[in-house]
Amino acid sequence: MNQDDLKRAVAVAAIEYVPADCIVGVGTGSTANFFIDELAKIRHKIRGAVASSEASAKRLKGHGIEVFALNDAGDLPVYVDGADEITRHMHMVKGGGGALTREKIVAAASRKFICVCDESKLVDVLGRFPLPVEVIPMARSSVARQLVALGGQPALREGFTTDNGNLILDVRGLQIMNPVELESTLDHIAGVVTNGLFARRPADVLLLGTVSGVKTMTAQ
- Binder of ligand 5RP out of 25, 48, 95, 209 (CB under 6 A): 95
Q: Does position 81 bind ligand 5RP by CB under 6 A?
A: yes
- Binder of ligand 5RP out of 49, 86, 100, 135 (CB under 6 A): 100
- Is 181 annotated in the active site? no
Q: Does position 202 bind ligand 5RP by CB under 6 A?
A: no
At position 147, the amino acid (one-letter code) is L
- Binder of ligand 5RP out of 6, 14, 23, 27 (CB under 6 A): 27
Nearest-5° Cα angle at 185, 183 to 190 = 110
The residue annotated as part of the active site, out of 38, 66, 85, 103, is 103
**130/154 with CB nearer ligand 5RP:** 130
Q: Does position 99 bind ligand 5RP by CB under 6 A?
A: yes
Options 9-17, 29-37, 200-208, 212-220: segment touching ligand 5RP (CB under 6 A): 29-37
Strand partners, 80: 26, 114
Sequence-distant (6+) residues with CB within 8 A of 215 are 206, 207, 208
Binding site for ligand 5RP (CB under 6 A): 27-31, 81-84, 94-100, 103
Q: Which residues are catalytic?
A: 103
